A and B are shown apart, each in its own frame.
Chain A
C-alpha cells in the first residue's frame, strides 16, 4: 500500500514538465478561441482563418497599420481610367512565393480569375466574399509581366478598399495547380512574412518565419504558433501559467478577472474596433414612424453607463454609425444627450404623453460591439419605463433572431455590425440604405427609406476621389442624425492580452493581429 502510494507520487513527480524550446529561438504562442476552418485565403470567411492567412499572404494594396487608409503592398502604384471602369496596377518585381516561384502578373490573374470564372480549373469553393465584394468585376487581365488591368462593370469606389480584404490575397499558382485546391487548403503558399509549417486541427497550427520576406521590416519571430483553447477562462489560465504569450477573444469579463489577479507582467492591448452596436427602430411600425418618438428614445439611452458597466470601459460611446477610425467620420455631430425630461417633452409633442407599450429585442450572443445584449436591453428598458414607454424584452436563438430581423418582424432591436473593408459605404449603405430594406433579406433593420440619404450613398459610390466621397458621407451622417432611424450605442474595443516582453503587438483595422513586426524581448 505504502509502496504503491510512493510509486504513484514518484510517477507524478517524474512527469512534471519543464517547458521545452531551443534557447534564443523567438517563438510566440497565441491562444485563440476557435480553430481556422480553411487556409484557402479566398474561401475563408471566419476570423480564426483570417488571423492565420494574414501572416501567410499579401494583397495588392493594404491598410496602413493604424487606419483604413490604403497604401501600396504587392502593387507599387495604380491608376483609374476617366470613366472609373478600368484600374491598372504596377506590381513589385522582387517578390517570391514561399515555394520559390516568382510573383508576377500571372499570379494576380490566377488569384482573381479562379474566384470569378466558374470554368477556371481552380474554381473550387464558395467564394462568398468575392461575390459579395467583387461581383462588379468583369475580368482581370495581364498587360505585361508586372502590370495587370481590372475592368469593372460600373464605377464602384469601395473597390480599392475591397482589394485589401480576403479575396484580394495572392496565391502561388504553381502550388495550387500542381497539388490541387484540396491540398492547398491545408498547405497554403503565399508571399507573406510567415510560411506555413504544420496544422493539427482543433489543436495547434505552426508558422515559421519567411527569411526571404520582401517587406522592409520583419519578421522578427522565428516561429508563430496558434493554439486552440476554446474556453475564455481556460485561455486566461494558460496565459497566467506562461504557456502562451498572447491571447485573443478577450471579453470585458476576462479583463475583470485579470484585474483581480493583479498581474503586472501581462499587458492589455486595446484599440477602437471597426464595429458599432446600435438600437434600430423599425420605422414601418407605429409609433416609430414618428421622428419625435425616435428622438425621444435617443434621449433615453445612457451610453456612458452602458460602456462603463457592460463594456467594463472597453468600448467608446458612439454618436455616429461609423467608428471614428474610418475616414469620412463626422465629428461635428452633437449627440442626443441622456435627458429624460427632453424625452418626455418630445413624447408629449408626438402625442404620446402617457407613453406606449412595445417590444425591445436583444441578441442571444455576445459580440465585440455588444458584450452582453441582455444587460444593455435592461438598462434601456429601465430608462424607457421612466418616461412611460413599457418595453418588453424579447429574444430568440441567434439564427431565428437574424431571420426575424431580416423579415422586419421587430419593433426595436439591438444589433450591430463588424466592418468588412473600412469603407464608410460598408456601414452607411449596407445598414441604412433603402436598397437594403426589402422584407426577407433586409439588412436595414430600421426600414429607413430616406431618398435624400439614398442619393448621397449612390453619389459616393460613383466617384473615386476620397475627399469628395468623404464630403458625401459627412452629409449623410447629418441626415441620419436628424432622422434617427437608429441610436448608435458603442464601438467595442479590439482586445488582446500579451506578456510584458512582447513588442509591436497591434490590431489592423479589421481587428486581426499582423505579426510581421511583432518581436519578443528574450
Chain B
C-alpha cells in the first residue's frame, strides 16, 4: 500500500518534470534566438559569400519562422538527438558524455568535502554555541560565501603550486601520464587499471579544484546546519529527552540531528546548482576539461548546438537532483506522506 503510494507520487513528480523541461527548452531556444547572427554564418566562416549563406540558411531551415524551428528542435531532442557541434562537427551528446564525467568527478568530490566539513563545523558550533569556535566558524563561513572563486583559485595556485610546489596548477592529470579512460572518472579508471601512481596523480589534481568549488556550499551548509541544529535543540522533545535522562550524545545524534537534517538536505539539493554554476569558474581557473568550460567555449564561439544542448542537459540534471532530494524527505520526515 505504502509502496504503491510512493510509486504514484514518483510517477506524478516525473510527469511534472515534462512541463518544466518544456518551458526550459523554450526559454533556452528564445535566448539563443535573440543572439545576433545565425548558425549559417558560424558554419561557413568569415570568407562566406552571401549566396552560399542564403543556400545554407534554406538548407538548415533557418528561413522558417521561429516556432516551426522550435518544434523541429523539440522533435530532435525527444529522439535524443541534440544535434552536432557547429564548430567541431561532433555529436553534442557524445561530447557532453565525456565532459560530464569530468564535471561529475569534480562536483561529487567537492560536494563530499562540502558536506563532511560543513556539517561537522555547523554541528560543532551549534553544540558549543557562542564559543570561540562558533565565532570563528561564523567569520569563516561569511568569508567562504563572499569569496570570489576566481580569486581564491589563483591564490591557491600561487600558494600551493608556485610557493610550496605541492600540487599541480591545472588539468586532470599530468600531461605525460597515460591513462586510458574507461568510465571517464579518472580516479576510478586509475584504480581499475591498478595504477597507484596514476591514482595519486589524479587525486593531486583534484585537491585544489574541489576545495575551491566546495568553498561556497561548505559555508552555506555549515550555517544551515548550525541554525537548524539550534532550532532542534530548543524543541520541547529535546527538553523532555533531557528530563528523561537521555545522554547528551544520544540527544544530539538521534533526537536533534535527524530533525535538523531536513533543511540541510534541501540546501544540499540547491547547492548542486551552485556547484554547477561554480564549476564554470573553477573549471576555467584550473583548466578542468568539463561541461562548464565546454559550454563557455560554446558561447564564445556561438556554437548554438553546444549552448542549447549543454544547457538543457545540465538543467535537466538539476531538476533530477531536486526530485531526488524531495524523495529523500519522505524517508527522513514521517509527516511527509504522498
Check B29 for interface membership: any CB of A closer than 8 A: no
* Known contacts A20-B176, A37-B87, A400-B37, A227 near B294 by CB under 8 Å: no
B161 contacts A241, C-beta separation under 8 Å: yes
Interface digits, A375-413 against B, CB 8 Å rule (1 contact, 0 not)?
000000000000000000000010110110000000000
Tell me the B167-224 residues at the A interface (CB within 8 Å).
Answer: 167-172, 174-178, 181, 197, 200-201, 203-204, 207
| Residues of A in contact with B, size category | 35 or more
Q: Which of B1-9, B11-19, B285-293 contacts A (4 or more CB under 8 A)?
A: B285-293
* Known contacts A17-B174, A241-B168, A403-B37, A231 near B284 by CB under 8 Å: yes
CB < 8 Å: which of B50, B89, B170 contacts A243? B170
Tell me the A426-474 residues at the B interface (CB within 8 Å).
Answer: 440-441
Interface digits, A20-58 against B, CB 8 Å rule (1 contact, 0 not)?
110000010100001001100000010000000000000
Shortest B41–chain A CB gap in Å is 7
Across the interface, name the chain B residue whose C-beta is closest to A226. Answer: B175
Check B165 for interface membership: any CB of A closer than 8 A: yes
Query: For B79, what are the chain A residues with a Cβ–Cβ distance below 8 Å?
Result: none
Q: A138 CA to B38 CA in the complex, in Å?
A: 32
Query: For A333, what are the chain B residues with a Cβ–Cβ distance below 8 Å?
Result: none
Query: For A334, what are the chain B residues with a Cβ–Cβ distance below 8 Å?
Result: none
Query: For A223, what are the chain B residues with a Cβ–Cβ distance below 8 Å?
Result: 176
Check A346 for interface membership: any CB of B closer than 8 A: no
Q: A33 CA to B186 CA in the complex, in Å?
A: 23
Q: A441 CA to B293 CA in the complex, in Å?
A: 33
A240 contacts B162, C-beta separation under 8 Å: yes
Check B154 for interface membership: any CB of A closer than 8 A: yes
CB < 8 Å: which of A128, A200, A234, A397 contacts B286? A234
Check B43 for interface membership: any CB of A closer than 8 A: yes
Query: For A202, what are the chain B residues with a Cβ–Cβ distance below 8 Å?
Result: 99, 289, 293-294
Tell me the A82-132 residues at the B interface (CB within 8 Å).
Answer: 126, 128-129, 131-132
Query: For A143, what are the chain B residues with a Cβ–Cβ distance below 8 Å?
Result: none
* Known contacts A202-B99, A397-B36, A27 near B176 by CB under 8 Å: yes
Q: Which of A8-16, A354-362, A482-490, A493-501 contacts B (4 or more CB under 8 A)?
A: A8-16
Could you tell me how many residues of chain B have their Cβ less than 8 Å away from some Cβ of chain A?
52
Shortest A418–chain B CB gap in Å is 10
Q: Which of A131, A223, A237, A397 has the most CB of B within 10 A?
A: A237
* Known contacts A14-B200, A16-B204, A233-B154, A29 near B176 by CB under 8 Å: yes
Across the interface, name the chain A residue whose C-beta is closest to B287. Answer: A229
CB < 8 Å: which of A29, A128, A399 contacts B302? A399
Q: A16 CA to B205 CA in the complex, in Å?
A: 9
CB < 8 Å: which of A27, A128, A228, A230 contacts B44? A128
* Known contacts A202-B293, A234-B285, A400-B36, A20 near B99 by CB under 8 Å: no
The B contact surface, by secondary structure, is loop
Interface digits, A168-187 against B, CB 8 Å rule (1 contact, 0 not)?
00000000000000000100
Q: A233 CA to B287 CA in the complex, in Å?
A: 11
B45 contacts A229, C-beta separation under 8 Å: no
Q: Which of A27, A126, A402 has the most CB of B within 10 A?
A: A126
Check A264 for interface membership: any CB of B closer than 8 A: no
Query: For B67, what are the chain A residues with a Cβ–Cβ distance below 8 Å?
Result: none
A203 contacts B154, C-beta separation under 8 Å: no
Query: For B45, what are the chain A residues with a Cβ–Cβ distance below 8 Å?
Result: 45, 126, 128
B176 contacts A234, C-beta separation under 8 Å: no
Q: A380 CA to B216 CA in the complex, in Å?
A: 44
Shortest A245–chain B CB gap in Å is 10
CB < 8 Å: which of A16, A21, A235 contacts B167? A16
Q: A45 CA to B207 CA in the complex, in Å?
A: 37
In the complex, the 5 A-B pairs of residues with the closest C-beta atoms, listed nearest first: A399-B37, A202-B289, A229-B287, A132-B47, A203-B289
Residues of B bordering A, CB below 8 Å: 35-37, 41, 43-50, 87-89, 95, 98-99, 154, 157-158, 161-162, 165-172, 174-178, 181, 197, 200-201, 203-204, 207, 284-287, 289, 293-294, 297, 302
What are 13 residue pairs bridging A and B, where the CB atoms are less than 8 Å apart in the complex?
A: A29-B175, A128-B44, A200-B181, A201-B95, A204-B171, A227-B171, A227-B287, A230-B297, A234-B284, A238-B171, A397-B36, A402-B46, A403-B41
Q: List 10 additional contacts besides A185-B89, A204-B171; criterion CB under 8 Å.
A: A37-B87, A37-B89, A126-B44, A128-B44, A128-B47, A198-B178, A225-B175, A231-B284, A243-B175, A440-B50
